[in-house]
Amino acid sequence: MENMQLNGDAKHRKAGRTLSSAVSVTVADLSPLHRARLEYFPRLPPILKGAFGWREGEPTDFADDAEEIKRYFPNLYGQPSVFIVPNRGGPVTTGKTLRVGVVLSGGPAPGGHNVISGLFDYLYNRNRDSVLFGFLNGPSGIIKNNYVQLDEERIYPYRNQGGFHIIGSDRTKIETPEQFQKVDETVRSLDLDGLVVIGGDDSNTNAAILAEHFVAQKMKTRVIGVPKTIDGDLRNAFVETSFGFDTAVKVYSELVSNLGYDAISAKKSWHFCRLMGRSASHITLEVALQTHPNMALIGEEVMEKKQTLTQVTKSIADLIVERAEMGKSFGVVLLPEGLVEFMPDVDKLILELNEILAGGHLEEDQIIPKLTEQSRYLFRSLPPLIAKQLTLDRDPHGNVQVSKIESERLLIQMVSDELKERKKAGLAGCSFSPIPHFFGYEGRCSLPSNFDCNYCYTLGHTAGALIEGGRTGLVATVRHLTKPPEQWEVGGYPLTVMMDIERRKGKNVPVIKKALVDLKGEAFRIFSEQRDSWRLAEDYRCPGPIQHFGPMADSINFTLMSEARDSVA
């Protein structure tokens, strides 16, 4: 592979030359860092480089809602996990000729290109006749039979680079009989032995449904999922972390620490910063631990304490007044993107809206009469922009699009009103000059950290190995991630064991459970011990940009370091 990389790089050096007809990047476009990262060779567990064997775990028939999940997955439910193990004296295989498709699904996450390059290298190194197809623009590319063949020339410029643009992505959910028929046609016409779905919880749920469907149709195509999402909520006893989280939190931490230094330099602004993470607050928690803001709201805690919108507003106003009394009319507040869904009153409203909107878009005057009295009152009391944002169309998986709900502006508005009320009532007034921020899209396509480069390259190899081993309905897994990559253990866990039944688009359906912040976990414990000391002091911490070289090059995020747990066998 090293030779190939050098060959690829030699092409870049020919000034102005386009890399291939399909790749529009020319040497003049590549930054010095881009070039340097092309030459980074990801670290890989040695077991994936040679002949290996398999070890099966126990059958996995212990999902929550077991009976119902079994009904959806009669062929896959209960199958064992598998581990790639040393080939103790078994026959040395050269690798089968395989035809494999790969698809990127959902929001981008740093490292996706390395999953693809890892998959390609695995297939190519095992058997030069194997072929990798990349479906274009997400699962809709499978439905439309829209693909490109991925070869070294096409892949090379994307090695260790951010983004999903080598083939693109979307959020199409494959669900109707017509869509399944189209997928069957595509898979049959390409004669696919395997399909690798790189996605989050919803996309991996879809991967399991496809795997079950292919088995039921007696088709040979195996389906393997790869755990992706910056949100960090595709995590459980089997998956230690999703790829992309490590890089994204490093990008956001740098930005937030810059805000802290701005606050303490100019001493005039309150920065309200919403961070991505649709359903869980892992990103906010990690960024708080890295940067020490004056306040960080953790949605899961808000939910546990049953704090309403008004209560959260008052707690922020208290902080602002306390600091103002010390002559400090500035600070940093972090909030998770999904905060509103954790407040019981707003969550109730959203659930009612989900049911009302399950049949499609409705105007506000059609919605309001269908709400319960309590939710109607809340809905009417919200700033009109936020009320409108809550009624926007759901995503194809039935989720509220929280990235479009500007909860930082909602809180700024509510806190402003609260401070004015306090002033009117003769309580301490104070100057409040807020600035809203939303950091989400800024982190999803960043140059991946060394950790994500190595992890993703390993996941790509593992997915290839699982397909070659004839496995289906599994998610590729890498265990012991806090150790050096040379000590990682690789294999696959059944997707069905990670599922429970949830209500989506007005129906009960199986979905992979999202992992919320564990309020008894190590990361939250450290946060809750330290946060009081950040309120009134300016203990802003600057972790700096992602390090690819030097002493921090192989550092991994705090959440994974403090909460890594050994997976079940």
Using the contact rule CB under 6 A, the part of the chain among 101-109, 112-120, 328-336, 503-511 near ligand FBP is: 101-109
In sequence order, which residues have a C-beta less than 8 Å from that of residue 486 and are 6 or more positions away? 43, 45, 46
Question: Which residue, judged by CB position, is nearest to ligand FBP in the bound state?
Answer: 106
Nearer to ligand FBP, 241 or 294 (CB): 241
**Residue 555 makes contact with ligand FBP by CB under 6 A:** no
Q: Is 498 annotated as a binding residue?
A: no
Using CB under 6 A as the binding rule, the residues of this chain from 381 to 420 that contact ligand FBP are 402-403
The continuous run of DSSP H or E covering 443 comes out as helix 441-444
**Residue 231 makes contact with ligand FBP by CB under 6 A:** yes
HSE, side-chain direction, 13 A CA sphere, residue 92: 3
The one catalytic residue in 121, 193, 231, 233 is: 231
At 512 the three-state DSSP class reads strand
**Binding test (CB under 6 A) with ligand FBP, winner from 42, 107, 157, 460:** 107
At 535 the three-state DSSP class reads helix
**Residue 469 makes contact with ligand FBP by CB under 6 A:** no
In 400-440, which residue ranges form alpha helices assigned H by DSSP?
A: 407-424
Tokens representing residue 107 in the block: 């929001």
**Residue 278 makes contact with ligand FBP by CB under 6 A:** yes
**Residue 277 makes contact with ligand FBP by CB under 6 A:** yes
Nearer to ligand FBP, 225 or 277 (CB): 277
Nearer to ligand FBP, 230 or 466 (CB): 230
**Would you say 39 and 9 are in contact if contact means Cβ atoms under 8 Å apart?**
yes
**Binding test (CB under 6 A) with ligand FBP, winner from 142, 276, 335, 411:** 276
CA angle (401 as vertex; 398, 405 as ends), nearest 5 = 150
In whole angstroms, what is the distance from residue 368 CA to residue 127 CA? 61
Q: Is 443 annotated as a binding residue?
A: yes
DSSP 396: T
Q: How does strand 295-296 pair with strand 270-275?
A: unpaired
Q: Is 231 annotated as a binding residue?
A: yes
Across the strands, what pairs with 20?
23
Using CB under 6 A as the binding rule, the residues of this chain from 318 to 337 that contact ligand FBP are 337
Q: Is 337 annotated as a binding residue?
A: yes
Q: How far is the CB of 107 from ligand FBP (least distance, A)?
A: 3
Question: C-alpha dihedral over 247, 251, 252, 256, to 10 degrees?
Answer: 150
At 552 the three-state DSSP class reads coil
Q: Is 200 annotated as a binding residue?
A: no
* Helical packing angle, 201-216 and 177-189, nearest 10°: 70
**Residue 246 makes contact with ligand FBP by CB under 6 A:** no
Nearer to ligand FBP, 48 or 335 (CB): 335
**Binding test (CB under 6 A) with ligand FBP, winner from 45, 134, 200, 510:** 200
Burial of 231 (0-12, 13-18, 19+ CB in 10 A): buried
Task: Catalog residues that contact ligand FBP under the rule CB under 6 A.
Answer: 106-107, 109, 171, 200, 228-231, 276-278, 337, 402-403, 440, 444
Q: Which residues are annotated as a binding site for Mg(2+)?
A: 201
Q: Which residues are annotated as a binding site for substrate?
A: 229-231, 276-278, 337, 441-444
Positions annotated as catalytic residues are 231
Q: Which residues are annotated as a binding site?
A: 107, 201, 229-231, 276-278, 337, 441-444
